[in-house]
């Protein structure tokens, strides 16, 4: 069953990884091996977690890359479903049978 309005994983990175350790975005970005802007965009929920970022987060903070990607997928899917009523798509299966 899909989660109701799941949080953006960037907020989870901020609240559960950076804040408890007292890490700034710049410090965490350096430790993750990414530029500050890339991490800032994730933490500010302007961009999603890529496969590579999921691996980096997993190595730095725990959880599996699949967990990080699952959070991103759940968020993305929820957002897309919220806008799916405006999608114009032909139902090809309605023609079968």
* Alpha helices (H) along the chain: 9-12, 19-21, 25-32, 36-43, 51-61, 65-82
Report the C-alpha gap between 13 and 75 in whole angstroms: 14
Cα angle vertex 19, ends 14, 25, to 5°?
A: 60
Give the percent of the chain with pLDDT over 90: 85
Model pLDDT, residue 1: 55
pLDDT at residue number 14 = 98
pTM: 0.85
**84 or 97: which leads in pLDDT:** 84
Stretch 71-76: mean pLDDT: 97
Q: List the chain domain ranges.
A: 9-84
Q: What is the pLDDT of residue 2?
A: 58
Q: Enter the tokens of residue 55.
A: 């691996």
CATH number 1.10.260.40 is the correct assignment for the domain at 9-84 = yes
pLDDT in tens, 22-65: 999 999 999 999 999 999 999 999 999 999 999 999 999 999 99
């Amino acid at each position: 069953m899909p989660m109701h309005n799941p949080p953006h994983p960037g907020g989870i990175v901020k609240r559960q990884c950076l804040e408890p350790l007292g890490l700034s975005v710049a410090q965490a970005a350096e430790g993750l091996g990414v530029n500050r802007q890339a991490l800032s965009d994730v933490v500010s929920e302007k961009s999603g977690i890529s496969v590579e970022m999921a691996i980096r987060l997993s190595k730095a903070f725990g959880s599996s890359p699949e967990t990080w990607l699952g959070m991103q997928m759940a968020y993305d899917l929820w957002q897309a479903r919220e806008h799916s009523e405006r999608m114009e798509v032909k139902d090809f299966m309605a023609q079968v049978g």
